[in-house]
Amino acid sequence: MSENFPTLRLHARRGDVVARDGVVVSFFIPYDHSIVAQACWRALQTYLRATPPQSLNWYGADDGDVLELDEDGWEVIRKRMVDRPSRLAWHVELSDLPGGTGGYQFEYHSNRIERPLCVGSNTAMSFTFPTEYLLEHGPQRMRDLVLELARELPFHFGYASFGLASREGSWTAGDWKVLEKYSVRYLGVDLPAVAGLGSVIGLHSLGAHWLTFLGSPLLERMGGTEALRQALPFPEVSLLPMEQERLLVTLSEWPTAIDIEQEPIPPQYRALACFLKPFMYAPVDADDGIANYLDRWRRRLCP
């Protein structure tokens, strides 16, 4: 993969940009807020140190308003993420622009485990970067930063991918004709939906990505690192064991949009997608159009 990334923009009806090309990083953690809050807060600090000053300027208030992220705002966010142990759910949305999206966004969603559907799948968080950040710093620095974020988190699944960076999955408000055009051509573009998936993903995966993180107990169900090694005999692939029985699978030097007008699907991407297929999350509501659209999209590399 070279540095030739497409410029992608989704606009709402009134013309606002609701999604743009960038790098999407998401983690799914099988523990609730009381256990992982400190680790997630440290990961946010790592993101802030790595991004330009004032990359995050706005936050979502409890009443649904969007407020300026000044010193008082940061204290609100700190209390929301680190304190409030008695709540049933914790949600933090930070963005560069009031409605997004200049490319920098952060989301944290944690739900107390109370329903069988939520067992093992109740905390999710994501970080996004504009494509310009990747081009400026290069893929190795990007990979090192994502790995630094991941080290803090007891995830069972996570990934980093070229994708449509949007605030709270607001790519769904964009022009669907443009989205379909992108979908037909660019098979490597991630459509993030971390807020909705965090409480339902269970101990499942979401398919193959540039960087794919696997942790306990998902990795053990797959047969461990050796099973991945046998399934991915490609020179472009690297497997990096991490502490606490976790694994990082890197599929290529650069993230890729997989522009099928210019190149076929890289075989290592298809191989990992097919390997993960038996372990992938599938929606249970047949009438949920967005969820089923996303499910088909996640399975595009290995139908």
| pLDDT tens sequence for the chain (303 residues) | 456 899 999 888 777 888 899 999 999 998 888 889 999 999 999 999 999 998 999 998 877 788 999 999 999 999 988 876 556 678 899 999 876 667 899 999 987 665 544 444 579 999 999 999 999 999 999 999 999 999 989 999 999 999 998 876 667 777 788 988 999 999 999 998 888 888 888 899 999 999 999 999 999 999 999 999 999 999 999 999 999 999 999 999 999 999 999 999 999 999 999 999 999 998 887 667 788 888 899 999 998
Alpha-carbon distances of 272 from 38, 190, 199, 260, 280, rounded to whole Å: 32, 16, 24, 18, 12
φ and ψ at 263, to 5 degrees?
-155, 155
Pairing of strands 246-250, 211-214: antiparallel
pLDDT at residue 284, rounded to an integer: 80
pLDDT at residue 103, rounded to an integer: 87
The count of structural domains within the chain is 1
Q: How many residues are recorded in the chain?
A: 303
Helix and strand counts by DSSP (H, E) for the chain: 9, 11
pLDDT at residue 18, rounded to an integer: 83
Kind and range of the H or E run holding 128: strand 123-130
- Whether residue 268 lies inside any domain: the answer is yes
Model-level pTM greater than 0.85?
yes
One-letter amino acid of 31: Y
pLDDT at residue 34, rounded to an integer: 82
- Whether residue 1 lies inside any domain: the answer is no
* R_g of the chain computed on alpha carbons: 18
- Whether residue 55 lies inside any domain: the answer is yes
- Whether residue 303 lies inside any domain: the answer is no
- Whether residue 187 lies inside any domain: the answer is yes
- Whether residue 292 lies inside any domain: the answer is yes
Alpha-carbon distances of 238 from 75, 152, 179, 235, 265, rounded to whole Å: 40, 21, 32, 8, 18
Which domain range does residue 127 map to?
Answer: 9-298
Which tokens is 281 given? 């999350």
The answer to whether 208 touches 298, Cβ cutoff 8 Å, is no
pLDDT at residue 139, rounded to an integer: 97
- Whether residue 2 lies inside any domain: the answer is no
The answer to whether 258 touches 251, Cβ cutoff 8 Å, is no
pLDDT at residue 100, rounded to an integer: 60
- Whether residue 289 lies inside any domain: the answer is yes
Which tokens is 100 given? 């997004």
Kind and range of the H or E run holding 181: helix 176-185
pLDDT at residue 117, rounded to an integer: 46
pLDDT at residue 169, rounded to an integer: 63
Instruction: Please count the other Cβ atoms lying within 10 Å of the Cβ belonging to residue 53.
Output: 6
